Each structure stands twice: as C-alpha cells, then as structure tokens.
C-alpha cells in the first residue's frame, strides 16, 4: 500500500508540475484575445439607424484602447464632427447630418466608446474619443475640422477643442454643461484659440446659465452665444420642430458660413 500511495503521490506531483507552464500561456493567450489592441474593428450593421441606405456610410477607427464607430456622410472639404448627448449615438444626428451633407459638408457623427457600435474601453474620456474622431477625419484629406457637441458631447467637444494639436477650425456647443463625467469645460474654454459658439434654450435653465458662464470665460474674440426661447435640449435644437429651433439653426448655419464654409 505504501508503494502504491507513493506512486500515486509522484504521479500527482508530476501532473501538477506539467500543468504549471501551460497555465500562464493560457492566461496570456486569453489576455491577448481580450486586449483592446487585439480586437477586430466592428463590422457594419445592416440597417443602422433602421436605414438600409446607411449600410455603406458606417466607419470604424482606432480610439483609446478600442475601436470607435460612426456615420460618414458627404464629400466636402470641411468635416463636421458630431458628438452626441447622453443616451444617444450617431443616429441622433441623422436628419441634420444629411441636411449638412447636402449643403456641401462632410459629416462624421460619432458613437462614443461603449455606445452605438463602438467598443468599450478600459480607460479614456469622451474628449479623447472626440480627438480620435478628429485624427480620423484628418486622414480623409479635408481642409477644416469643426467640432459640434450636444449636451455631454458639447462638454467633450469644448475640452477636445482646447487640447487639439493642430487646432481644429471651430467648435459649437449645444446645451453643454460646464462639466460632465470628470471633464471640465469651464476650465478648458479660457484656453480656446478658435471660434466658438454656445447655443442653449432659456427654458433649459442650468444649461443656459452654463452657456453664458462659459461664454463669459472665453477670451477668444470670435466667441458667440445664442440663447433661444423654449426648452429644447442638445440635438433637439437642430433636429426637431419646436420653439427656439429656427433661431438655433440660423445661429449655427451663420456661424459655419462665417468660420468654416463647405
């Protein structure tokens, strides 16, 4: 019995020793497979935004530790990078994006990381996603890049505009809060060296107050602010019919014509 027990013990020890080197290899392979840099770019989704015409308008590009996605419309020399508000993705901009593409702009509507078709990332910020979209847009051979963000997307666009190198052409904020998810637009806007337009509805009280405060803190003389009647928020200022929408659309269109023609 002692001989049998000793034989079994030796076999178990050998089996354990034999399995140890394989364990790190398996873990390494698993980590590599799950690494953001090892991921494949997301494939286009049939009928994105419930629209089959967008099947060939979907793009993917490298972000911070993950692939980001978006919709690319138009063929102009000026690209409008559109950053969505919370609980929304690239589809939220679609009607206005098509309008601007028809007017001669190229339009890149972004999905933030972990939203729409974009992959989740382990670290990073919304403004970093916007800067990744800017980097991608510049590979398209465009001459001008304009950032337009709605609500939290506006906060990210303002922070990104203050950090972009080389600078973007201009930035537009629609109902942006002065801070969101740890990103401080109020601290960023005094560093802006490009034209900036703040738009908000007066009935959207805290956001109108933030727009006014950030406008006051902006030192670039090409700053502008339009406070419209009503309570429309973010993309709704440009995408639906309602009180204040015509004034908001006129302000944005005029700003683009002045600072970033197609």
For 77-107, what is each residue's pLDDT tens digit? 999 999 999 999 999 999 999 999 999 999 9
With cut-offs at 50, 70 and 90, classify the pLDDT of residue 212.
Answer: very high
pLDDT of residue 47: 87
Question: H or E segment at 29?
Answer: helix 22-34
Residue 167, pLDDT score: 99
Q: What is the pTM (predicted TM-score) of this model?
A: 0.85
Considering only residues 189 and 41, tell me which one the structure prediction assigns the higher pLDDT. 189
CA 246 to chain centre: 26
pLDDT, mean of residues 111-132: 95
Q: What average pLDDT score do residues 180-196 get?
A: 98
The residue among 63, 125, 130, 51 whose CA lies nearest residue 95 is 51
Span 108-132, average pLDDT: 95
pLDDT in the model for residue 43: 84
Q: Is 174 helix (H, G, I), strand (E, B) or coil?
A: strand
Percent of the chain predicted with pLDDT > 70:
85
Over pLDDT 90: what percentage of the chain? Answer: 80
pLDDT reported for residue 78: 99
Average pLDDT over residues 234-260: 98
Q: Provide the mean pLDDT of the chain.
A: 89
- Which pLDDT band, with edges at 50, 70 and 90, does 180 fall under? very high
Q: What pLDDT is stored for residue 82 in this prediction?
A: 99
Q: What is the pLDDT of residue 34?
A: 40
User: Would you state the pLDDT for residue 223?
Assistant: 99
pLDDT tens profile 4-57: 344 433 433 333 333 333 333 333 333 333 444 457 888 888 889 999 999 999
Q: Which long-range contacts (CB under 8 A, 24 or more apart) does 30-39 make?
A: 36/65, 36/66, 36/119, 36/121, 36/122, 37/65, 39/66, 39/67, 39/119
């Amino acid at each position: 019995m002692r001989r049998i027990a000793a034989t079994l013990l030796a076999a178990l020890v050998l089996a354990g020793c034999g399995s140890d080197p394989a364990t790190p290899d398996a873990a390494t392979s698993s980590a590599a497979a799950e690494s953001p840099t090892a991921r494949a770019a997301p494939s286009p989704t049939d009928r994105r935004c419930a629209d089959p015409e967008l099947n060939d308008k979907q793009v993917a590009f490298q972000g911070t530790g993950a692939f980001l996605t978006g919709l690319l419309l138009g063929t102009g020399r000026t690209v409008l990078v559109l950053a969505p508000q919370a609980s929304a993705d690239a589809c939220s901009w679609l009607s206005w994006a098509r309008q601007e593409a028809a007017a001669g702009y190229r339009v890149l509507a972004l999905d933030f990381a972990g939203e729409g078709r974009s992959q989740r990332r382990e670290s990073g910020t919304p403004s970093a996603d916007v800067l990744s979209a800017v980097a991608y847009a510049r590979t398209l051979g465009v001459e001008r890049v304009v950032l337009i963000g709605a609500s939290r997307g506006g906060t990210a666009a303002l922070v990104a505009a203050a950090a972009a190198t080389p600078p973007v052409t201009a930035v537009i904020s629609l109902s942006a809060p002065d801070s969101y998810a740890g990103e401080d637009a109020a601290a960023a806007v005094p560093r802006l060296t490009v034209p900036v337009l703040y738009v908000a509805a007066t009935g959207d009280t805290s956001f109108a107050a933030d727009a006014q405060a950030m406008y006051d803190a902006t030192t670039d003389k090409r700053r502008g602010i339009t406070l419209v009647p009503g309570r429309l928020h973010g993309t709704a200022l440009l995408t639906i019919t309602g009180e204040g929408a015509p004034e908001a659309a006129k302000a944005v269109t005029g700003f683009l014509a002045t600072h970033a023609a197609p």
